[in-house]
Amino acid sequence: MNTPRLIDGKAAAARVLIEVRKDVERLRAQDIQPALAVILVGSDPASQVYVRNKILRAEEVGIRSLEHRLGTDTSTEQLLDLIARLNADGSIHGILLQLPLPAQVDELRALQAIVPGKDVDGFHSENVGGLSQGRTVLAPCTPSGCLYLLEQTCGDLRGKHAVVIGRSNIVGKPMAALLLKADCSVTVLHSRSPDPQALCRQADIVIAAVGRPRLIDASWLKPGAVVIDVGINRIDDAGRSRLVGDVDFDSALPQVAAITPVPGGVGPMTIAFLMKNTVTAALMQQHSLSEAVCHSIS
Ligand code: GUN
């Protein structure tokens, strides 16, 4: 077998961001400044890091970012008030509500309150439904990033058997929908699947998104499979804290054609696609605005 390839998410994200920057410049030339509002409720340490990185990346590509921090004791109504203001603000193109939310906040109501055209996470049921119908909508960022890496690595995905491990609303389910849209045969495995290893060993493509450190080793993988590891798990390794994926990288490497490392694989792609979605949202709002003007003139 050929030497396994490391899939470089940092380099791929940099390529996506170059295109995003060009789109930002085109919009600015038309006096449109793309803007992303990021809402952080509470003080979850990992969420604070994610939000900081999103805001830094936005600034780098010329997207205006506005951070809204709400206290841990925020009520659903208070959050809905803020979302309503951001929905109504024509200078804001994207709204991102960082998850998880404190237990007292109704997550579903909050996500449904974001207008679908500003829903840069693709979590509103209008966008979720559109994706499962195969329509072009704002799609969740992490699975969009995984699909981009797969297209770059495998070329044509049609007819490939993809196994998605994990069925979360953020990654597993939208990943399956995107792979179906790309004409893959898709199997979704979860905690109740009997003999998941045997099913996974049939896959040409494996997407691991379960949040269980190093669960998937060589015994799960067909020789020559392409593996995308979405997991980011902090473990204690002989007294030192470090990040590992859902895949046991050292065990998997000799078995695969290509694999993403953790960190440096999927992580940078999530933020790159958030920027891409923000620009797409700005373009969509510009188009619907110009269509509305045309209608009012005609
Ligand atoms: N928390 C973990 N991943 C995500 C994500 O992709 N979007 C949001 N909004 N919150 C998250």
Which residue ranges make up each domain of the chain?
31-116, 141-267
Average pLDDT of every residue of the chain: 96
- Looking at the CA of residue 96, tell me the nearest atom of ligand 1: 9
Q: Whose CA is nearest to atom 9 of ligand 1?
A: 98
Tell which residue, 265, 256, 203, has the closest CA to residue 232.
Answer: 265
Domains 31-116 and 141-267 share a fold: yes
Q: Which residues line ligand 1 (CB under 6 A)?
A: 96-99, 121, 141-142, 170, 270
Residue with tokens 């060009």: 22
pLDDT tens figures, 101-117: 999 999 999 999 999 99
Which pLDDT belongs to residue 298?
Answer: 45
Which pLDDT belongs to residue 4?
Answer: 77
Give the mean pLDDT of 207-213: 98
Which pLDDT belongs to residue 294?
Answer: 47
Which pLDDT belongs to residue 59?
Answer: 97
Binned at pLDDT 50, 70 and 90, residue 295 comes out as low
Domain 31-116 has CATH 2.60.120.460: no
Which pLDDT belongs to residue 289?
Answer: 64
Query: Given a cut of 70, is residue 204 above it in pLDDT?
Result: yes
> What residue type is 191 in one-letter code?
S
Q: Whose CA is nearest to atom 3 of ligand 1?
A: 99
Query: Given a cut of 90, is residue 34 above it in pLDDT?
Result: yes
Percent of the chain with pLDDT over 70: 96
Torsion angles phi and psi, residue 273, rounded to 5: -75, -25
Dist. CA 55–CA 237, nearest whole Å:
31
Residue with tokens 């791929």: 12
- Looking at the CA of residue 97, tell me the nearest atom of ligand 1: 9
Query: Which residues lie closer than 8 Å to 199 by C-beta, 6 or more apart?
Result: 163, 187, 189, 193
Separation of 47 CA from ligand 1 center, angstroms?
A: 8
Of the two residues 287 and 256, the one the predictor is more confident about is 256
DSSP code string of 218-235: GGG--TTEEEEE---EEE
Query: Given a cut of 60, is residue 93 above it in pLDDT?
Result: yes
Dist. CA 82–CA 99, nearest whole Å:
16
Query: Given a cut of 80, is residue 141 above it in pLDDT?
Result: yes
pLDDT tens figures, 50-92: 999 999 999 999 999 999 999 999 999 999 999 999 999 999 9
Tokens representing 56? Answer: 């830094």
Binned at pLDDT 50, 70 and 90, residue 20 comes out as very high
Query: Given a cut of 60, is residue 293 above it in pLDDT?
Result: no
| Residues annotated as catalytic (active site), given as ranges | 54, 98, 121
Percent of the chain with pLDDT over 90: 94
Number of H helices and E strands in the chain, helices first, is 10, 11
Among 36, 67, 99, residue to substitute to test ligand 1 (most atoms within 8 Å of Cβ): 99
Is residue 256 within 8 A of residue 4, CB to CB? The reply is yes
Among 47, 111, 170, residue to substitute to test ligand 1 (most atoms within 8 Å of Cβ): 170
Q: Which CATH superfamily is domain 141-267 in?
A: NAD(P)-binding Rossmann-like Domain (3.40.50.720)
Q: Would you give the end-to-end CA distance of the chain in angstroms?
A: 64
Residue with tokens 């994200």: 13
Binned at pLDDT 50, 70 and 90, residue 288 comes out as confident
- Looking at the CA of residue 141, tell me the nearest atom of ligand 1: 6
Q: Residue 289 pairs with which residues in a beta bridge?
A: none
Sequence ranges of the binding site for NADP(+): 166-168, 232
Binned at pLDDT 50, 70 and 90, residue 290 comes out as low
Binned at pLDDT 50, 70 and 90, residue 1 comes out as low
For residue 279, give the H/E element and its range. helix 267-297
Q: Residue 207 pairs with which residues in a beta bridge?
A: 164, 228
Give the mean pLDDT of 262-283: 98
